[in-house]
Amino acid sequence: MASGNAVVVFSVSGCCMCHVVKRLLLGLGVGPTVYELDQLGRGGREIQAVLSHLLSAAAVPAVFVGGQLLGGVEKVMSCHINGSLVPLLKQAGALWL
């Protein structure tokens, strides 16, 4: 699911931190592929459990860039603030400018 797209966000409907990450990416001009785990039934719960293990924290939002796990909201915001997010997005082919 995460490897076929430049940017993938695993989210839950109504999660404010998920909304923040999605709005940031959209504001940068990225059209992420978004999976709303609460709308995927049992499969969504299983994915959420795996993401929770990978992140060692809240499972959502989980952001993958170029098929690699970037992290949750803290990591995404940290990369945005320190200027490393846009180069990562460009390298993954999510941004052209």
Domain ranges of the chain: 7-91
Tokens for 25, please give them. 């990416």
- Whole-angstrom distance between the N-terminal and C-terminal Cα of the chain? 26
Residue 69 token pair: 């796990």
Q: Check if CATH label 3.40.30.10 holds for domain 7-91.
A: yes
Determine what percent of the chain falls in helix, strand and coil, rounding each to the nearest 5.
45, 20, 35
9-65 pLDDT tens trace: 999 999 999 999 999 999 999 999 999 999 998 999 999 989 988 888 777 899 999
* Model confidence, pTM: 0.91
